[in-house]
A and B are shown apart, each in its own frame.
Chain A
Amino acid sequence: MKEPRAPIGGEQRGGYEGSDERDGERGAWSVEGASPLIEGRPPRSTLHAHSPVVSARAVTREYRMGAETVRAVRGVSLDVADGDYVAIVGPSGCGKSTMLNLLGVIDQPTSGTISIRGRDVSTMSDREATRFRLLNVGFVFQRFYLMPMLSARENVELPMAEAKVPPAERRARARELLSYVGLAERERHRPPQLSGGEQQRVAIARALANRPALLLADEPTGELDARTGADVIALFARLNRDGTTIVVVTHDEGMARAAQRTVHMRDGQIVADERRNV
Chain B
Amino acid sequence: MSAAEHARTETPRPAFHIPRPAPRTARPRMLTALAAAALRRHVVRTALAVLGVAISAALLLDMVMLASGMRESFRDFLLVRGFQLRVSPKGTLPFDTEATIGGAAALVRVIRSHPDVDAVSPVLGAQLHVIEGDRATTSFALGVEGGEQGDYALEAGTPVGGRDHAVVNDAFLHATGLALGDTVDVAVGYDPQLRSYAGRRRLVIAGRGRFYYTAAGQPVAAVPLATLQDMGGPARADRVSLLMARVRDGADVEAARAWIEHALPNVSAISIETALRQVDERLSYFRQLSIILGAISLVVGFLLVTTLVTVSVNERIGEIAVMRAIGVSRTHVVQQIVLEGLAISAAGAVVGLALGLVTARYLNAILSDFPGLPAAFDFFLFQPSSAWRALGMLMLSGVLAGVYPAWRASSLPLAATLRQEAVA
Contact = CB atoms under 8 A, between A and B. Distances in A.
A43 B293 CA distance: 74
Interface of chain B: mostly helix, strand, loop or mixed: helix
B177 interface: no
B27 A161 contact: yes
B10 A37 contact: yes
B37 interface: yes
A98 interface: yes
Given A39-B13, A130-B324, A162 B329 contact: yes
Nearest to B321: A145
B385 interface: no
B366 interface: no
Contacts of A261: none
Interface in A11-41: 16-19, 37-41
B11 interface: yes
Interface stretch (B200-208, B350-358, B412-420): B412-420
B415 A147 contact: no
Interface residues of B, number: 50
Contacts of B255: none
B322 A139 contact: yes
B411 to A, nearest CB: 10
A194 interface: no
A106 B33 contact: no
A16 to B, nearest CB: 6
B41 A98 contact: no
A126 interface: yes
A66 interface: no
A7 B329 CA distance: 26
Interface stretch (B18-26, B166-174, B397-405): B18-26
Contacts of A179: 11
Contacts of B26: 161, 164-167
B332 interface: yes
Interface in A223-237: 227, 230-232, 234-235, 237
B389 interface: no
Contacts of B10: 37-38
Contact of A150 (B3, B17, B37, B325): B37
B369 interface: no
Contact of B30 (A148, A158, A207, A231): A158
Contacts of B4: 230-231, 234-235
A8 B19 contact: no
A38 B19 CA distance: 22
Contact of B18 (A16, A159, A207): A16
B18 A40 contact: no
B418 A101 contact: yes
Contacts of A237: 7
Interface in B19-46: 19-23, 26-27, 29-30, 33-34, 36-38, 40-41
Contact of B421 (A143, A158, A201): A143
A264 interface: no
Contacts of B3: 181-182, 197, 201, 231-232, 234-235
B15 A130 contact: no
Contacts of A157: 30
B325 A106 contact: yes
Interface in A153-185: 154, 157-159, 161-167, 169, 172-173, 176, 179-182
Contact of A164 (B21, B33, B34, B330): B21
B422 A97 contact: yes
B41 to A, nearest CB: 6
Which residue, A41, A142, A158, A237, has most C-beta atoms of chain B within 10 A? A158
B415 A135 contact: no
Contacts of B282: none
B4 to A, nearest CB: 4
B34 to A, nearest CB: 7
Interface in A198-221: 201, 206-207, 210, 218-219
A163 B30 CA distance: 12
Contacts of A6: 16
Contacts of A154: 33
Nearest to A238: B7
Contacts of B325: 104, 106, 133, 139, 141
B13 A38 contact: yes
B322 A145 contact: yes
A154 B26 CA distance: 13
Given A139-B326, A161-B27, A181-B3, A169 B11 contact: no
A159 B20 contact: no
A44 interface: no
A142 B30 contact: no
B22 A134 contact: no
Given A139-B322, A164-B26, A173 B16 contact: yes
A39 B2 CA distance: 24
B14 A107 contact: no
A189 interface: no
Contacts of A232: 3
B153 to A, nearest CB: 58
B14 A8 contact: yes
8 contacts: A19-B18, A147-B37, A150-B34, A162-B30, A167-B26, A169-B16, A182-B1, A231-B2
Given A107-B414, A148-B37, A182-B6, 14 more contacts: A106-B418, A107-B415, A127-B330, A133-B327, A135-B327, A141-B418, A141-B422, A150-B33, A159-B327, A162-B332, A164-B21, A165-B19, A218-B418, A231-B3
| Chain A to chain B: the 8 pairs with minimum beta-carbon distance, closest first | A134-B327, A149-B37, A182-B6, A231-B3, A164-B22, A107-B415, A234-B4, A145-B322
